[in-house]
Structure 1
């Protein structure tokens, strides 16, 4: 085919267009498998977008591919063994199961780098294709399945994110005194498994085909190991800081849990470990920790009689005495009532 030297070539994947390319660069894109026979292409002078297989350069590509194909394999036993050994070194052994999965991944849309990815167009007929690469094992085992596939960097990153989210949840609960059950759990129990479900096979394909240890959006100034190590270190430091604070708070909650008698003879049953309730006389309230101070021995609780009831602020203070300690309970910053220890729950 005769083309002008300045002819520019384009191709599109989904709704994304790539180009312009010179003819030499365009052929290079084809030989790098970024453009398939079914890919739509366009060049200056063409009436519209056409498939590569229907284009004037299809025959030329076939000729070039035949020239760069390997020579016939020798029938000698020594040559066959050398070729087999070379293949085992350079290419992992892919089972028939993964060959089928990889065939499905090959049909997925491509990102800007020409690598398969989940279609972000939001079109139902396009997203149906995503189910062909879904992984039941990825959904059930999450990042552990990444470990099984030896994608250690990606597994460590996902686990680090899980730790960070869990630590943030615990920190917010300790500050606000309001349980976040059902909000962060949605992310931890649904979003992460769903990501692993739809992406683990694509990630494994890119891991095998492109040797991609970590996602290409990570900072290029760091190696994959350094990138993951820094994120993992942050997650561990955050988790230690948050849970160390909880351990000290648990000490106070353990100390004040039990049966107590007030100065006026009223019996108070306090269980802040399992039931998280305070019962004084015939009244019971449900409590969550708002904040605590281990040094002064003060725990501030947000309590209520149940859903849709008004919150009550309860402050419990430990007071050291010769025989051990007593507690003082204040409700909504009103006067304190002293209680003496009677027995454990």
Structure 2
């Protein structure tokens, strides 16, 4: 089989790797038909986080089940499935409470299970991880592209909105115009927010934010952005979705949050070597909730809306490549020529 392999900063190669086989009674082998390049992949690609080289990459698989172990009950060969960015068993303490990313048996998609930017993956916890797409939707390309972001960015944006306490009639703000931030706008609209302020710096992405339901767009940075949101709202908002992870984004988030409000944070933390000043949170009783999104907990709920046509995050997929084009996909996202790259092996 062939898969994308990381060989160091800026170097992704598509190579032949060993074929995958069933190794455990709970395994499933999935032929990947759709996957993506994630914004979080750019941290190792840019050399800003450590990663073993060589190593297979990708964590957002969708495809067709090819084989299953003897104890797998929820899927069978021929089923269309998608999977969250981490594998989870489905039965441990944390899976039972909906915190699948803390699964005591959890695994990543890296290593010898294939990496999701390749032709096949092996899911070691098929029943707890794989989400089956109903047969009547299994070959509808538009639906499949709308479902693919549920593997990561749509579930993550939703987690930000839920963590921030967004509800019907809310006024909220979304910090960040990457794929997660845009999905955060969509999630806030889905939850009934009346006013959604999107903060970002790229016109094409803010156009998508507006399409997704943003009522106000703010392109200022730093203190100017905080002042602009305060002007728009008369003192800030009660619900802030922080979808970047940088210290500057968190500072903006707490700066635009009203006293007693909540920041829902899902951005992968980076650039925090100098620390983060917690006094603004302390001084204004601003709550901080969130973390790595347990997207498996939200999968069925969000899929139901996609299948009935009321949720479609696919406009974030602004470039499509085949497996050989994965290195170009990384380049495009690194240079902000694409919001999110769809890969169709």
> TM-score band, normalised by the shorter chain?
under 0.3
* TM-score, structure 1 as length reference: 0.21
More helix per residue:
1
Q: TM-score, normalised by structure 2?
A: 0.21
Greater RCO structure (CA 8 Å; 6+ sep): 2
Larger Cα Rg: Structure 1 or Structure 2?
Answer: 1
